A and B are shown apart, each in its own frame.
Chain A
């Protein structure tokens, strides 16, 4: 990790700006360096405290808990790797992991493509872009619980507007909210409703693509799709990558919309396996069944999975993502 290039701000010690810092390893920090460091740490101390108490300690503690049986009411009992063994055999772990994976694998590309399509459209619209951009963004402000409500209502198999619209083009829509094959697709579709923020990101990236590249491509006789593939996508690949990574991580942690619509006190008899996402299962095990030890083990599995996926994405990005100024 490189130290960032000199900030534009003067340092208190010298009162002036420096150019690129010279990093020399010195035996001990000079008094002025120490002063500066202590001053900095004073400002940073809230984060450090928070990190220790709410991040570092919980990580360690969670690792410990995952080796115990703990229901909060009684003391924890050490059980070694039992939780992990149980996880390996628990059909709901496999099920919820599968549900989450399927959802994410379908949702992320679809979401990105839709966002890109809308951004491309907006890019062509110039003056009126602002109005449309606002319209696309507003749904993002809807609280996810309300999104869950909208899912149940708009996608209702019998009366929902979605099936109504589908019937205009002759398709008989399925029961999105009760048919086990269509519940996840329903969740994917409604996630597309909040695509607005990604649209804005991609639009900003599109606008940064220099015009001359397009002109050059056009002179070479490239048609629209060719231009898009050869110029647009590489030039905005940074932003695309960003959207993909963020949404993947979010997808793996899908909770609120599905929980509001399909779980909770009112739904206890109609539990639906296909909407059991990993974090929902974790939440149930931890806070409903009070199997805190088991839930901690589940949390660690999630952590590992997300880390793996993110690392893979980062590795892939080195090959695919193009940053201006790089030699390719």
Chain B
């Protein structure tokens, strides 16, 4: 099993009341002014976050995962490749897992160059991963959402071609045009680095992933749709002539570890700071025009309206926000998220038991430990990492052996043969 750390690298010197009253401005796309950013505090946080990744390597984690969001305090990795380049130099062994570059807003030739540089500097430790980007990224980057999926597909094909087809060549595509493609700096891993795709179990992406034999990493999704995703992936894999296994699946879990249960409870609340991901961005920014397929828009339109009364169920942001009311709902959300297993907070002992249940059901070969969010002191973050690394990590290694959960660097994804019957085996736990 590939076990990696993750955090959003938040700039958390932002008051929760301000986040709420500015309509989810902490997430997705900030509504509050960027004059609230203090570069000195930003400097300190970047360095702490880099040190935490060096520490993760010392503790024995296999990888450090980064992500990218634009124009928002909650993720300081607005140009994740810059952080990845630093990590390529200051770490020695861990995989640098980028989940992911939002392809539709990128210049794919430039991206091919950046990622190749990171792979070469790190000595072949890059795991690139690509996303369509949350809807708000289309607005943050002024990339036409109506062509989001087309651009994703074309940029993907282009980057892979730039790495694997000797240059120079000319490229005249639908959305991208290059007179001269000969990047010269090519990845160290041959024929190219493994590509992993993260997501929130959108069927279209899961199918695309299985067709490309790329591992799919579900990002903190509810268990039932995640199981459906695994089964869908495995069905598509079967149609494409291979058996999906743990090496094809990953799961990112919010998990805070502390010395006491009380402390863990206090720290875990950071995951719902300001409303957490249940209120990622203003809905109208999450669904920019054309970002959704027509089928998805139809589903959304139905979901938004009560079929009996015609009343709107989901209301878009208008008028004053009741901060106290939102805070009450956040408190409820924290309790519910723990009950549903979406947030795990506890001592190593309780955390190990909960992770075991998760691994038994989902059987992932990749596990991301999202170890903090919201305001949390450097000391508490280090303590959490240490407890995870020294106590949870060895226990997970044992579980992975016992449950036979190879990661994609132990078992190459997409080459496991189907049984002689041609019918796939079960991919999720039998109890699921």
| Pairing of A with B | no
